[in-house]
Amino acid sequence: MKSRLFLAALCLFGITARAQTKPATTTPPAVVSLIEGITDKQFMPDTAFVALSKQDEAQLAKEPVANWGLAQESGGSMTYYNLVIGTLSYQLVITRPPKSAYPIATLLRYSTPKSKPEPLARGTLRPVEAGKPK
């Protein structure tokens, strides 16, 4: 009985986690090109979160890459970039998992200076192939 209850709870958590995300095809091209412009790597989105709004797309599309802060390292396996627009801020976090060949990029939004981060997009960063434009 306990194993069935545990299995049911596990399935419920899986369904809940899946309901919070959309397929990677919904990551807007403006967000993909922004991440590629900041990192100089090819961004392969694997998750687009429901928190991404049309306002976010417009804000991120109109802000040039030059307005993003310089890369800051936190430990040896994490780098992040910041963009602040009034009270709204964005953060691009790049982590290098120890057993993965490619780093993972996550775009976060902070609605207010004290709010929790809301994930907007996530994916892997791969080297730009020779002969292909950025």
Q: Is the pLDDT of residue 30 over 70?
A: yes
Per the CB < 8 A criterion, the answer to whether 124 and 103 are in contact is yes
Strands, E, within the chain: which ranges?
21-22, 42-49, 72-73, 78-85, 88-95, 104-110, 118-126
Separation between Cα atoms, residue 120 and residue 68, nearest integer Å = 17
Q: Determine the average pLDDT of the residues in 106-110.
A: 92
Res 51: pLDDT: 67
Mean pLDDT value across residues 57-78: 87
Average model confidence (pLDDT) across the chain: 79
